[in-house]
Amino acid sequence: MPDVLELFDSKTVLNYLKERQFAPLLGETLFPEVKHGTLEFEHLVGASSLPVVASVHAFDTEAEIGSREAAKQALEAAYIKRKMQITERDLIALQFPRTPQEQQYLMQNVFGDIDSLVRGVKARIELMRMEALSTGKVTLNENGLNMSVDYHVPAEHQESLAGTALWTDEANADIIGDLERWADSLDEKPTRALTSNKILSLMLRNDKIIGYLFGKGSGRIATRQDLNAFLLQHDLPQIAVYDAKYRKQLANGKYTTERYFGENKFVMFGSGTLGETLYGPTPEESRMLREGNEEVHNVDKVIAMVYEEGLDPVSTWTKAAATAIPSFPEANNVFQAQPIA
């Protein structure tokens, strides 16, 4: 019977990933994913999308000289990886199955582990994208790495409300006024806004908004469709919510559930993509190439494998890895607000 490394050789695992379709995360649409052959990237920051007006000249005079206002920001892809062990008992069962059905069942369990690990890598990348979108920074402080990427969102495009201005104050909060002020501060009119269901619920219960939608004292309950129709009529962004969550395993083995996008965040932005999710090569891919394994060229963005290390105890692992970092050239054209405490 074939052993586990023959059952799950690199060709089998990489072809599995090539065919496997994972449900896309929101950040993949805002920051489309692109694979490159390097770990270091440069992208333009600081440029306004507004045109710089040209001057009128007399004939036979030299043209006005323009300048490039954008600067280049260097980014380095973060190395993200996670592994799970195949137990010695399962190794024996895989090599000596009692029936073909049992072997198929055990193999599906390993492929399930691969799915789980790949989704975990994708989740960490989604967290980086949402952190960049909502705060303008990505902070990486785990497993010996301590670094922060600042995308330089202008300070005048960030605001944390306080006191009676907080949207939790239903009687006093001027939510539409806040939206108009934030939208007017951007060079381009924002067309979309992302927030949490908690903040959306506060907006739909706000006395002034209900008055705008239905008239004071109507007693009606507003929906997101009602609110977005009103916002569209007033050239304000359409609101979407993002409440997706992930789990994080602590050092003691227990799990906590956390959000990709902060529950107290409200972000406005335009209709185009905000940047890219930049993927680079991994050490695992480099080793496969050195070993003459051409199947590595099938790697899309996240690589997975089954490998052995150690003889006592016998240690066999499934592993997924990627190197990635979001670029954010549209950082100048977002407004990042915190309307609740």
**Which carries the bigger pLDDT value, residue 4 or residue 49?**
4
More confident residue, 170 or 47: 170
Question: In this structure, are residues 171 and 191 in contact, taking their beta carbons and an 8 Å threshold?
Answer: no
The SS3 of residue 172 is coil
Rounded to 10 degrees, the C-alpha dihedral 107/111/114/118 comes to 180
Give CA–CA dist 266/160, Å, rounded. 10
User: Model confidence over 50-98: pLDDT tens digits?
Assistant: 666 777 877 777 777 765 554 567 788 999 999 999 988 888 888 888 8
As a whole-number percent, the residues of the chain with pLDDT over 90 amount to: 64
Residue 304 has pLDDT above 60, yes or no: yes
Distance between CA atoms of 27 and 127, rounded to whole angstroms? 9
Residues 6+ apart with CB under 8 A from 27: 125, 126, 129, 130, 133, 260, 277, 326
Strand order in the sheet with 238-241: 158-160, 335-338, 266-269, 192-195, 238-241
* Rounded Cα gap, residues 146 and 125, in angstroms: 16
Between β-strands 266-269 and 71-76, what pairing exists: parallel, antiparallel or unpaired? unpaired
| pTM of this structure | 0.90
List CB contacts of 46: < 8 A, sequence separation 6 or more: 69, 70, 71, 152, 332
Residue 184 — very low, low, confident or very high, per pLDDT cuts 50/70/90?
very high
Tell me the C-alpha distance between 135 and 150, whole Å: 9
CA distance 4 to 114: 14
What does the alpha-carbon distance between residue 221 and residue 210 come to, in Å, rounded to a whole number? Answer: 8
d(CA 235, CA 213): 15
**Contact, 101 vs 69, CB < 8 A?**
no
Q: Omega before 190 cis (within 30°)?
A: no
Complete DSSP assignment for 141-166: EETTEEEEEE----GGGEEE--GGGS
234, pLDDT greater than 80: yes
Q: Is the pLDDT of residue 146 over 80?
A: yes
Task: Name which residue leads in pLDDT, 253 or 25.
Answer: 25
Q: How far is CA 87 from CA 12, 92, 193, 280, in A?
A: 20, 9, 47, 31
Residue in 223, 239, 220, 241 with CA at minimum distance from that of residue 231: 239
Q: Which amino acid is at 209?
A: I
Provide the token pair at 254: 């227990």
Paired residues of 145 in beta bridges: 142
Q: Tell the residue number behind the tokens 């915190």, with chain if given.
A: 338
Q: Are 246 and 261 in contact (CB under 8 A)?
A: no
Residues in the chain: 341
pLDDT at 292 over 90: no
**φ and ψ at 267, to 5 degrees?**
-125, 130
336 three-class SS = strand
- Closest CA relative to residue 307, chosen from 127, 114, 150, 149: 114
The overall average pLDDT reported for the chain is 90
120/155 Cα distance (integer angstroms): 33
pLDDT tens-digit map of 240-285: 999 999 999 998 989 999 999 999 999 999 999 999 999 999 999 8
Q: How far is the C-alpha of 56 from the C-alpha of 60, rounded, in Å?
A: 12
Residue 31's identity, in one-letter code, is F
What pLDDT does residue 216 have?
Answer: 80
